[in-house]
Amino acid sequence: MNNFIIEDTKSTPYVEINYTNNKLILKGESYPENSYNFYEPIYQTIDKYFENYDALSADVQLSYINTSSIKCLMIFFDKLNKNYINGKDIKINWFYDEDNGFDYDMGQDFKMDIDIPFEFLSINNGE
């Protein structure tokens, strides 16, 4: 199966769902005019993914997320959380920029709502 890839734009992040090494990558900024249009295909793909795969490691590095994207990501993490509760092996690596602050706060907010192992990794200490 081909990997699911959306290239990044000024207002949307790079998205990759890799079937061979069971990885999800979200990287960039997210503030599209219509967030639902952007995240809807990702929801569908992740639902299908968990029909066939049992493990997922998500690497997230988002320097800015607007309000409606936050809502969309909440829905997305909620989906992951449901699968985690159903026994899938999922973990989240939240990469943040120490100079930013906003992204770390966001991560904290998301972490609060879900049960998935959630690790914070600073990109300043050399990845």
Partner 1 sequence: MRKEQVDKQFSEFYIKNFYRIILIVSICISLAVIITGFTGYGNTKKLIINKAKSKDIVFMVESMGNKIDGRIKRALETSYVFANDPSNIEWVDGEEKDAILGKKVLMNAHNIVENFDYNMFFLTGFKTKHDYFFNKSSDHAKERIFSEATPADKWFFDWEKEKKQVDLNVNYDDVTKDTLLFVNTRIGNANNPVGICGVGLSLGDISEEFRECKIGQKSNLWTIDDKGIIKLSDSRSDIGSNYSKFLPKEIISQIRSKTSKDITISQYENSNHEIIDYAYYKLSSCNWTLFYQVPRYESLSIIHSLKINMIITVFLVLLSFAFLLYIAFTKIVNPYEQIILINEELEHEIGVRTQELQHANEKIIDSIQYAKKLQESILPSQEEIKKLFLENFVLWKPKDIVGGDFFWLKEIENVIVFAVGDCTGHGVPGALMTMTVNAILHNIVTIVNKEDPSLILKELHVRLKETLNKSSNSQSVDDGLDIAVMCVKNKSELTYAGANIGLYIKNREKVKFLDAQCRGIGYNFIKINEFIQNYMVHIEQGDSFIAVTDGFIHQNGGNGNYPFGKQRLFNMIERSKAANLNVMKDEFACELEQYMCGKDQRDDITIVGFKVM
Tell me which residues touch partner 1 (CB under 8 A): 31, 36, 40, 43, 63-64, 66-68, 71, 74-75, 78, 97, 99-102, 105, 109, 113
**Least separation, in Å, of the C-beta of 84 and partner 1?**
16
What are the phi and psi torsion angles at 113 (to 5°)? -85, -15
Nearer to partner 1, 68 or 93 (CB): 68
- Cβ proximity to partner 1: between 30 and 90 the closer is 30
16-43: b or e for each residue (b if 16 or more CB lie within 10 Å)? ebeeeebbbbbebbbbbeebeebbeebe
Report the nearest approach of partner 1 to the CB of residue 23 (Å).
25
Residue closer to partner 1 by CB (options 14, 43) is 43
Task: Compare residues 57 and 68 and give the one whose CB is closer to partner 1.
Answer: 68
62 - beta bridge partners? 28
**50 CA to centre of own chain:** 15
Nearest approach, Cβ of 57 to partner 1 (angstroms)? 24
What is the nearest approach in angstroms of partner 1 to the Cβ of residue 40? Answer: 7
The number of angstroms, rounded, from the C-alpha of 38 to the middle of its chain's C-alpha atoms is 13
CA distance 68 to 38: 11
